[in-house]
Amino acid sequence: MPFGEIVCGAPGSGKSTYCYGKHQLFTALQRPISIINLDPANDNITYPCAIDIASLITLQDAMDTHGLGPNGGMLYCMEYLEANFDWLEGRLKELEPDAYVLFDIPGQVELGTNHESLKRIIQKLSKIGFRLAAVHLCDAHYVTDPAKYVSVLLLSLRTMLQLELPHINVLSKVDLISQYGDLDFNLDFYTEVQDLSYLEDVLNTTSPRFTALNMALISVIEDYGLVGFETLAVEDKNSMVNLSRVIDRATGYIFVPSKDASAPEGTIDSSSDPASSRPNLYPLFTTAAGPMAGNVRDVQERWIDAKQEYDAFEKREWRKEGELLREHAAREKATENERKEAGNIKPGGIRERK
């Protein structure tokens, strides 16, 4: 059963950057991954693309052929993909059987909130065996404005109800949030979507004309009680690993390396040991079901409260790591030179003349 993600979100939320970061992470972890570009307007793909919808249709072709604008052309492209789903299914069968698949979706929010084509495409993917989770990216700077935060909550809720998938809402670019001003509350207030009535005083100050409307929307969000957020700093390894673990838990995916995969240096080979002494899969399942390692308070300390201190600490650690690598390379080079010198000396102690 292939597993994967539907990567959606508004334009500029970091979908393509996330896909590229995920590819780098999985490549380092030796986890097979394939990325599918389903955005017909994306002509500048930054990640290795296994399947590109441009082979089927592009936004410019739809606009030129039918006289449509950008929005109408995008909806037409999704309807065209739905009508030609057999093309996508055939291309998916060409991928590695164990590949983890990322579907990079266009940023037009109507596709995930109102339009039915994307929903039906996802349903067809589920019918052919895909186990998918929706990863909905929202730019973290919206939490610095209470009215925008309410709109993000409403958009996230509507997308969850529309796509009908295991759903992870993500505040992306959390490493840049400090550039947009101070937060009115701690970060966990926004990620855990706690008692939103506390926003009323702030909304009265920033947008008094729409306070009643905002509070009515807040009541709808709280009545459903579905929305919550993870955080993401795509350039931070720990942040990417924690988010990947959350997504794996949502889909029920547990990665077990193949028998042919190379083991890390120093690993003890137990393939010839009796069954009673070989590792079993039970620890993998208990690890997947255990408590999550990430903590939103740690995220706030790292990226908001003490960002400069952590950045300076990481630079010092990177500098130390670089010095250690250079010293290691110098020692290896010196050892290699000694071996070459030793190889040029004959048994009688006379150096061989070249």
Exposed / middle / buried, residue 343 (Cβ in 10 Å: 0-12, 13-18, 19+): exposed
State pLDDT tens for residues 217-242. 889 999 999 999 999 999 898 899 99
Model confidence at 306, in pLDDT bands (50, 70, 90)?
A: confident
The domain made up of 3-193+228-256+278-305 is a member of CATH 3.40.50.300: yes
The predicted-structure confidence for 25-52, as pLDDT tens digits, reads as follows: 999 888 899 999 999 998 888 889 999 9
Q: Is 1 helix (H, G, I), strand (E, B) or coil?
A: coil
Given a cut of 70, is residue 353 above it in pLDDT?
Answer: no
Task: Give residue-wise pLDDT tens across range 53-70.
Answer: 999 999 999 999 999 999
- Digit-coded pLDDT (tens) for 86-141: 999 999 999 888 889 999 999 999 999 989 999 999 999 999 999 999 999 999 99
Residue 286 has pLDDT above 50, yes or no: no
Position with higher pLDDT, 348 vs 102: 102
The answer to whether 154 and 193 have CB atoms below 8 angstroms apart is: no
**Nearest Cα to Cα of residue 38 among 24, 12, 14, 59:** 59
Q: Which two tokens stand for residue 319?
A: 């500098």
d(C-alpha 219, C-alpha 14), whole Å: 29
Would you place residue 197 in the very low, low, confident or very high pLDDT band (cuts 50, 70, 90)? Answer: confident
Any idea where the domains of the chain sit in the sequence?
3-193+228-256+278-305, 307-340
* Contact (CB, 8 A) for 20 and 47: yes
Q: How confident is the model at residue 190 (pLDDT cuts 50, 70, 90)?
A: very high
